[in-house]
Amino acid sequence: MNSHRSDLLKAFIQQPEWSWTKEAQHEGRVHHWIENVNEWDGKKADAVLLGMPLSRSSISVSGASEYPDAFRKSWRGFSTFNLDEGVDLSSLSVLDLGNVMMHGTDILESHRRIQAATVEAAKRFNDSVTIGIGGDHSVTACAVRGLKEVYPDETIGILQLDTHLDLRDTSPNGPSNGTPIRQLIDGGAVKGEHVFNIGLHGYFNAPALISYAKEHRVNMITLKQARQKGITETVQAALAQLKQTTDRLYVTVDMDVLDIGFAPGVPASTPGGMTTQELFDALLVIGKDESLKHIDFVCLDPVKDTVGLPTVKAGVYSFLQVLTGMALAKRERGE
Amino acid sequence: MNSHRSDLLKAFIQQPEWSWTKEAQHEGRVHHWIENVNEWDGKKADAVLLGMPLSRSSISVSGASEYPDAFRKSWRGFSTFNLDEGVDLSSLSVLDLGNVMMHGTDILESHRRIQAATVEAAKRFNDSVTIGIGGDHSVTACAVRGLKEVYPDETIGILQLDTHLDLRDTSPNGPSNGTPIRQLIDGGAVKGEHVFNIGLHGYFNAPALISYAKEHRVNMITLKQARQKGITETVQAALAQLKQTTDRLYVTVDMDVLDIGFAPGVPASTPGGMTTQELFDALLVIGKDESLKHIDFVCLDPVKDTVGLPTVKAGVYSFLQVLTGMALAKRERGE
Amino acid sequence: MNSHRSDLLKAFIQQPEWSWTKEAQHEGRVHHWIENVNEWDGKKADAVLLGMPLSRSSISVSGASEYPDAFRKSWRGFSTFNLDEGVDLSSLSVLDLGNVMMHGTDILESHRRIQAATVEAAKRFNDSVTIGIGGDHSVTACAVRGLKEVYPDETIGILQLDTHLDLRDTSPNGPSNGTPIRQLIDGGAVKGEHVFNIGLHGYFNAPALISYAKEHRVNMITLKQARQKGITETVQAALAQLKQTTDRLYVTVDMDVLDIGFAPGVPASTPGGMTTQELFDALLVIGKDESLKHIDFVCLDPVKDTVGLPTVKAGVYSFLQVLTGMALAKRERGE
Amino acid sequence: MNSHRSDLLKAFIQQPEWSWTKEAQHEGRVHHWIENVNEWDGKKADAVLLGMPLSRSSISVSGASEYPDAFRKSWRGFSTFNLDEGVDLSSLSVLDLGNVMMHGTDILESHRRIQAATVEAAKRFNDSVTIGIGGDHSVTACAVRGLKEVYPDETIGILQLDTHLDLRDTSPNGPSNGTPIRQLIDGGAVKGEHVFNIGLHGYFNAPALISYAKEHRVNMITLKQARQKGITETVQAALAQLKQTTDRLYVTVDMDVLDIGFAPGVPASTPGGMTTQELFDALLVIGKDESLKHIDFVCLDPVKDTVGLPTVKAGVYSFLQVLTGMALAKRERGE
Amino acid sequence: MNSHRSDLLKAFIQQPEWSWTKEAQHEGRVHHWIENVNEWDGKKADAVLLGMPLSRSSISVSGASEYPDAFRKSWRGFSTFNLDEGVDLSSLSVLDLGNVMMHGTDILESHRRIQAATVEAAKRFNDSVTIGIGGDHSVTACAVRGLKEVYPDETIGILQLDTHLDLRDTSPNGPSNGTPIRQLIDGGAVKGEHVFNIGLHGYFNAPALISYAKEHRVNMITLKQARQKGITETVQAALAQLKQTTDRLYVTVDMDVLDIGFAPGVPASTPGGMTTQELFDALLVIGKDESLKHIDFVCLDPVKDTVGLPTVKAGVYSFLQVLTGMALAKRERGE
Amino acid sequence: MNSHRSDLLKAFIQQPEWSWTKEAQHEGRVHHWIENVNEWDGKKADAVLLGMPLSRSSISVSGASEYPDAFRKSWRGFSTFNLDEGVDLSSLSVLDLGNVMMHGTDILESHRRIQAATVEAAKRFNDSVTIGIGGDHSVTACAVRGLKEVYPDETIGILQLDTHLDLRDTSPNGPSNGTPIRQLIDGGAVKGEHVFNIGLHGYFNAPALISYAKEHRVNMITLKQARQKGITETVQAALAQLKQTTDRLYVTVDMDVLDIGFAPGVPASTPGGMTTQELFDALLVIGKDESLKHIDFVCLDPVKDTVGLPTVKAGVYSFLQVLTGMALAKRERGE
Ligand SMILES: [Ca+2]
Ligand SMILES: [Ca+2]
Ligand SMILES: [Ca+2]
Ligand SMILES: [Ca+2]
Ligand SMILES: [Ca+2]
Ligand SMILES: [Ca+2]
Ligand SMILES: [Ca+2]
Ligand SMILES: [Ca+2]
Ligand SMILES: [Ca+2]
Ligand SMILES: [Ca+2]
Ligand SMILES: [Ca+2]
Ligand SMILES: [Ca+2]
């Protein structure tokens, strides 16, 4: 193993500020089940998760940097058992790798660290599904570039659930949260035709970005179209197409794809978006799919959430839906 | 009539702290229609309601004790006419019996009072539907035990709308709001197979409780299953089964069965729950059913509600849906 | 042109307190596209909008007077491109005529000014769709009376999306926000049978008002009925009927038709209402209809909205849906 | 007695929508002590209070119309015993006369009713201190005109605690909440030199109004000046001067005189205002003064108050401070 | 050592649900400095703190049970250095003993556990100042009874900072948060004349309680009296008197002594209370006093606090003021 | 003039997104009085203000970037007349130069632009007082470096009103909002002994920073010390000392110097801070001082402010106090 990387790991990965006191009485709850790890080597897991607490790269004010910790804090309210599907997630092993340590003012350095950490995680946990917890959407470009670094010969496909195209030009304002897909297409890491964006709706993408999307053959599937075909059917079709044309799937879930009535805690909440139920159904399908290797959840701003924390809870629920899908697939495979 | 009971009634039932000033201009509104009563004897009514303002028995902090009064305060915004069904509720007589007076620190005493008050109400209003207004879910165990006391030879069936099973063991923390169904099963008042829980979803019940439920053959119907069959069809099927196997129906509505987007004002609000429309449809079906004798609404915490009081309003609407069902049935019966 | 009117125009129309600084970088956004005008003559437009910031005529406390400005402030977050329909609204010309200046304490004078301003707008922009931005629902009566003044020989039909009938008697409290349809029927400007109200639900209309509605043959279509037939089909059927029986269509959208979960920012928010998606679909159909000449949006109270401004955003989205419909129709007509 | 007046009383005075259920256990609390009255004749009291729930006359959106009821609802949290002064308020008799019934849209009619009700109250309770509970500040002009009607030969002096001069011209917007003192001076009811305004501060009065104040010799005492001399000393000096030059004292307390840190629940809250302690001290002095005959509290908007209701509680506390002063004076007089 | 006690300790003391990850970069912050301990024996400390998370004994709805954890969570924002006094608190050793484990529904059992835990803490840390973190005020009676159990021959004096007397009779509602001082006096643990209550103000104590206080010679010092003499001088005088007449000082700080403008996060927040600065000054004096052995902070409800957590921060600041006083005294003693 | 600079000006200064519609009726209000300018040359003014909307350089999540616009939006509620001092600010000319345009992700570039803009403003308006409106505290280091660039031979003195020392080391996290004074001392722009920090209090500065401060002889004056001497006397003494030892005064006001009870809208709000009145008094003294040349207001986060916007209003009031001081001095000088 590259020892420079190892130093980097020590330097740039940190444990959350606090950790759960695990007691027997909490058995069967998510916070008791997911395991914190300080050492990455020699570990095996079905999934690993990595916090990417960066949001100073957001165009508007965002507290998405607070989400990885708010996410962990909310685990306590969730059981490992999914009643709808009759499956206990504790049949999976899930490791919490901690957070990538962010720089206070050098955003590009933070981006480099996210990329480097993704490289390390992908290498050391190449049998695991990696789950990134943002942070704003700029982290996705870093993570995908990291994967491209590890798997230079593979074609990467992106399934994006988002209200926005994220195709803004980086020239005026750098690699902000409005730019990740543009960065990847312009940088050659991903082709436009290998991006499927499901959940676009309404009046939230400028005409110029739509022209760019068409020009680069980004697959734009509006929420209206998805509902006509069925949300889960639409996701399955996109996954099928990506499997045919690409080698490695990266799923990115911008929580602002949800309707403002269900998810007020995102910087750009909008009416006319997905219901939580639709998102949960979509993520179950994604979790079941054998091609799932990498997924992230971004742009959830707990600072903006309302008192009962509907958005943070929807974030944890979404994460667990992916794991439920994985557990069902594992059961089906007889593992 | 048992004079000890009568004293108990005087001792433990109190009128709300305030009462509506009834004026002609408010005719046709709910607060003008429902009648406050101080004396229980010699009254007849289609339905009677009784506040059970106890929430210090809740596991987490709960202001559900404030609900009976918040509920009454919100009546003013509701008409007696249901436009969807074209029925005027003033064709029914509804009495407000006041609140069971709670003890400040002796929770078991409060439970005894709720049970005793239920006994009295069931005896004196045995032709009426009794409607309990919680309070947290611990009040349901008291009420059902009270009914068992009055009707020792009857088999009681429970239709529960809830996100949770409420099957926690009472040994560590006593008869809290997580335990009512467990209390009733363990105490022999109700059999597990006579409990139908509709609305369970997601990750909100510990594996051990699910095992208990299976072992005692509690009928767990997830929201996903209910939606596949149709919510109203699912409720009708459960009512039909309960009619075949039990003598007396008790319906208990835990308002946390609703999705957090519609009902933030419950201690354990979750995403992925029922919409208010689904609950309203279910309650109309329940109200229409001739077997309805007892119903309660619990775990609505007005202290946690947001500014426009969506949850309190949903609580009043829910209550009126049951009455609408009753009024439709009455009309159909030609009364 | 009537010079008295012209003076009136100068006296009673005012620009919003502030105006957008238009910069190239905002091209493609709504606030960059809609044009402010100080002079009404010699202008042509597909649509004109006029603020009617009156809410002291509301029965309950209302900040709907703040909506016209909150509405304009929120434009900045919206693109001119509707992705669902693939249409760029900048193919339409839309003028912002400013606000009718309200009197501080003389509500009837404010009503007269709204009527007079509507007369002027209807005359000078008789090829445009006029869009009123309330204000509470009392403004609708003024606007319709204004149209009747301009087109005395035409029969006016009203399509109302509302939770309420707005048929209260004006005798106790004057022309408040609960009375506009009653005013128009009693005043002879509109016949009850030419009013279609879609979206009524639940327990929010007093029995006496329902009797009045029946007596005057107001077409009451509950949300439940509309859903059974399909919301868009219901709207299309109402439009078709109105086209057959009336000469001029006035559409009035009371934002309280929306469910409280989606639109907390209205004085009388209720559970059991329309979803934003349903309203958006209905408005698209309305916008496409060639008979659309006049529409208003009322009773949205931004002061009561929650932090992310879901209701204000739903208001802007609703307005854009109408324009999207118009743009689609225009494209279809090959203009 | 004037029978016209009597009819007016029946027509325009109403009891609050609800009333307290008085129980022995609440003895010693304010809501148990203050007595509701339906009949005004033949009653004697140290003080009478009258709600004036009008705020559609406010320049900005105001929910001050909700204050009389919020005020009564908050009594329950207050004891009749003032510990600082060692006096029990139950030594005074205080009657709640109910609310003046407001017209829904005719503000001038509402103003006439307030004036008429003040006339009646002043006549029938001429030995009592009358306490008006607004509503916005426009009610003060009505009340003072009413007193002038009853006591045409008396010179009225005004002690105003306010951040604002309330000297706006009525010509553009009528008798709004920014105009009461101007109305009274321009209308000849009160002379500018007989108005003492204590609490003015900062940047909240336009230059033109200050010119008017100087021209009419209104006594402007800034908060800074009052603090230099001592708040209570300043109030005492103003009372002394008014006693020398006028026959009848009217005290008007605009709750926006308080600093925004203590009283967020007013339409125009400002930093740099009075602390609650300073206001409470001032009101004690006022209550002790034998010349106190009439006082009102205005512009408190409970809709805008924060969760713990600091402003409403400060409003009740303020009211009780006046009564404490009265009780101390009564004790001193040996009554 | 009593082995029964030891078992009790194991059974009823628990670590907080989570613990800080201590990192070098946090040196100099409170959360890095205070040490968590699982074992009580063989430890020495200047002060020990013990959470008492009970609030179901509160008369009104209270989330004070959440305070011990909210308190610890807030440590992170505080330095160990007090700039005003130029002293570094890290010169003191402070141990966090964890929380007394509460029973879910048996309040008396919870009270017994608090008493037992106090006994243990007092015995094992008899050289330390013990600091109780409530919970509501009922915990104080338990703690004082515990001390009486350990030191049966000592006379206990109480310095209480509170808006309320806490002298309610336990007969109707048991040992609730309104009763602790009454419990201690009636139970013979403390004499009324050995209680000094500083901070009483306004209208928040019923006449009957004041009579009881006088009868039992409780020293009632109103805030007004304290300010006249000087808050710190008043505290010093009370401490001096208590030293003369009692053997052991117990200080209890009800955070509702603070004004609602500074501390909204208490169940019974009032205007007219202490400023935070006054409380901080008082606590510095108390911390400096050599007689300080036991102190608690109660009735702070973080659930009711506003967004910036002013009350929780005031709670931590208050706690640190006591320690600052102790550190200054230690420095003075040359330790 | 340097033409490179001129281009920079065009490139990096932008007008606010919107501007006030100035109408005669608003005469005498701040928003009507302050003049927007697009061209800087040939203008003269008593004061110029420049927005510096940067807060992604903040350690914790901050919306201080929104303050310059929130500040301007709030002008409308303020008169130009200061009643306490009897002075009309319209005797001063004040220009609004717009905002420095920030880069979306390159924080150092944003810092360079702030520095460059300060250089331009200082050069072109060298007779004016320059007023910076942050943004977070990192902007101060840029501004002072800019002044050092324009006046390389002058010694700069800093009067800082702050809860914090802002002496954090830049090495781990770059030039964040915790570092400006450290940057200036380490960079040689300012000497520690020429920094006076007034308002420090409590537990909000790490021991290591205090050591640095002592080492570099930064003048730390705690709030407690300032109150003992008098706030205004303390400020005057600091100004006097700075005048003796330095050539050019820079005043920087971190709004978090205010107590959390008055100013919740700052990222690091604390109890125990300054009252608004104390800050307003201090700023009046500063405004009167002839040595005032440069001042900034930083770290006010309107996103975190409560509903009535107490902090934003305190920010505008603070700004006006400086101008009031200037106007008084001007009047005294007979200008
Ligand atoms: Ca995105
Ligand atoms: Ca997005
Ligand atoms: Ca339950
Ligand atoms: Ca439940
Ligand atoms: Ca309406
Ligand atoms: Ca309506
Ligand atoms: Ca006023
Ligand atoms: Ca005022
Ligand atoms: Ca207490
Ligand atoms: Ca207390
Ligand atoms: Ca600072
Ligand atoms: Ca600071």
Burial label, B11 (beta-carbon count in 10 A; 0-12, 13-18, 19+): exposed
On whether F259 is known to bind a ligand per the annotation, the reply is no
**pLDDT (mean) for F194-211:** 97
Residues in CB range of D223: below 8 A, 6 or more apart: D198, D199, D200, D201, D272, D273, D274, F84
For residue E157, say if its preceding peptide bond is cis, omega within 30 degrees of 0: no
CA distances (Å), D315 to each of D76, D83, D93, D133, in order?
A: 14, 18, 20, 10
In chain C the domains, ranked by start, together with CATH numbers, are 3-153+247-332 (3.40.800.10)
Interval between CA D103 and ligand 6 midpoint (Å): 20
**pLDDT (mean) for C241-252:** 98
Phi, psi dihedrals of residue B283, rounded to the nearest 5°: -70, -30
Q: Among D280, D88, E106, which Cα is nearest to B110's? A: E106
Say whether pLDDT at F322 is over 90. Answer: yes
Average pLDDT, chain B: 95
What integer pLDDT is reported at residue B1 of this predicted model?
A: 38
Q: Among E143, E56, E184, which Cα is nearest to B105's? A: E56
On whether F69 is known to bind a ligand per the annotation, the reply is no
Indicate the pLDDT class of residue D6, thresholds 50, 70 and 90: low
Indicate the pLDDT class of residue E1, thresholds 50, 70 and 90: very low
Q: What gap in Å lies between CA F203 and CA D134, rounded to an integer? A: 44
For residue B199, say if its preceding peptide bond is cis, omega within 30 degrees of 0: no
C105, C107, C172: residue with CB nearest D176? C105
Distance of residue F269 Cα from the nearest chain C Cα, in angstroms = 21
Residue whose structure tokens are 């109700």: B190
Average pLDDT, chain D: 95
**E308 contact residues in F (CB cutoff 8 A):** 260, 264, 269, 304
**Could you tell me which chain F residue has the CA closest to the CA of A57?**
F105
Q: Among B177, B114, B174, B175, which Cα is nearest to B147's? A: B114
Ligand of minimum distance to the alpha carbon of D255:
8
Indicate the pLDDT class of residue D3, thresholds 50, 70 and 90: very low
Phi, psi dihedrals of residue B98, rounded to the nearest 5°: 95, -165
What integer pLDDT is reported at residue A318 of this predicted model?
A: 98
**DSSP line for A183-238:** HHHHTTSS-GGGEEEEEE-TT-S-HHHHHHHHHTT-EEEEHHHHHHH-HHHHHHHH
> For F81, how many CA atoms within 13 A lie in the half-sphere containing its CB?
16
Strand pairing class (D35-36; D47-52): unpaired
On whether C4 is known to bind a ligand per the annotation, the reply is no
Chains F and C touch (3+ CB pairs under 8 A): yes
Say whether pLDDT at F6 is over 70. Answer: no
Say whether pLDDT at B6 is over 80. Answer: no
Distance of residue C27 Cα from the nearest chain A Cα, in angstroms = 8
Q: What is the pLDDT of residues C5-42, one digit of tens each?
A: 567 777 899 999 999 998 888 889 999 999 999 888 88
Partners of E183 in beta bridges: none
Strand pairing class (D47-52; D94-100): parallel
Would residue A220 be called left, alpha or beta, if left means φ above 0 and alpha means ψ between -120 and 50 degrees?
Answer: beta
How many interface pairs between D and F have CB atoms less than 8 angstroms apart?
81
CA distances (Å), E279 to each of E77, E199, E231, F266, in order?
A: 20, 9, 8, 23
Q: What is the pLDDT of residues A162-201, one digit of tens each?
A: 999 999 999 999 999 999 999 999 999 999 999 999 999 9
Q: What is the pLDDT of residues C187-222, one digit of tens each?
A: 999 999 999 999 999 999 999 999 999 999 999 999
Tell me the one-letter amino acid at A156: I
Structure-token pair, residue D246 = 């006028």
Counting runs of H as helices and runs of E as strands, what totals does chain A give?
Answer: 11, 13
Say whether pLDDT at E156 is over 50. Answer: yes
Predicted ipTM beyond 0.85: yes
Q: What is the pLDDT of residues D123-178, one digit of tens each?
A: 999 999 999 999 999 999 999 999 999 999 999 999 999 999 999 999 999 999 99
Chains E and C touch (3+ CB pairs under 8 A): no
Indicate the pLDDT class of residue C43, thresholds 50, 70 and 90: confident
The secondary structure of residue E80, as a DSSP letter, is: S
Q: What is the pLDDT of residues A62-76, one digit of tens each?
A: 999 999 999 999 999
Q: What is the pLDDT of residues A151-170, one digit of tens each?
A: 999 999 999 999 999 999 99
Please check whether residue F292 is in contact with residue F249, taking contact to mean a CB–CB distance below 8 angstroms.
Answer: yes
CA distances (Å), E198 to each of B159, C93, E137, in order?
A: 55, 70, 16
Q: What gap in Å lies between CA D132 and CA D151, rounded to an integer? A: 18
Indicate the pLDDT class of residue C105, thresholds 50, 70 and 90: very high
Tell me the one-letter amino acid at B182: R
Distance of residue D179 Cα from the nearest chain E Cα, in angstroms = 30
Interval between CA B130 and ligand 3 midpoint (Å): 19
Structure-token pair, residue A16 = 């959350």
What integer pLDDT is reported at residue A2 of this predicted model?
A: 45
Which of C59, C61, C113, C168 should we substitute to test contact with D (largest number of D Cβ atoms within 10 Å)?
Answer: C61
Interval between CA F254 and ligand 12 midpoint (Å): 5
Indicate the pLDDT class of residue B279, thresholds 50, 70 and 90: very high
What integer pLDDT is reported at residue B7 of this predicted model?
A: 74
Assess A202–B contact: CB distance below 8 Å, yes or no.
Answer: no
Q: What is the pLDDT of residues B294-310, one digit of tens each?
A: 999 999 999 999 989 99
**C206 contact residues in B (CB cutoff 8 A):** 27-29, 79, 81
Q: What gap in Å lies between CA B110 and CA A115, rounded to an integer? A: 59
Q: What gap in Å lies between CA E184 and CA E195, rounded to an integer? A: 10
Say whether pLDDT at D325 is over 70. Answer: yes
Say whether pLDDT at D4 is over 60. Answer: no
List the subunits that have 3+ CB pairs under 8 angstroms with F: A, C, D, E
On whether F137 is known to bind a ligand per the annotation, the reply is yes
On whether E162 is known to bind a ligand per the annotation, the reply is yes
Average pLDDT, chain C: 95
Extract the runs of DSSP E, i.e. beta strands, from C216-288. 219-222, 248-254
Say whether pLDDT at F1 is over 60. Answer: no
**pLDDT (mean) for B156-168:** 98
**Could you tell me which chain C residue has the CA closest to the CA of A269?**
C308
Least confident stretch, B161-165, B207-211, C62-66, D9-13: D9-13
**pLDDT (mean) for B174-198:** 98
**D30 contact residues in E (CB cutoff 8 A):** 203
Please check whether residue B139 is in contact with residue B298, taking contact to mean a CB–CB distance below 8 angstroms.
Answer: yes
Low-confidence residues in chain A, pLDDT < 70? 1-6
Q: Among C63, C133, C64, which Cα is nearest to C95's? A: C133
Cβ–Cβ contacts within 10 Å for residue A190, how many?
27
Say whether B84 and C207 touch across the interface (CB within 8 A).
no
**pLDDT (mean) for E201-228:** 98
What integer pLDDT is reported at residue C6 of this predicted model?
A: 66
Q: What gap in Å lies between CA A68 and CA C140, rounded to an integer? A: 49
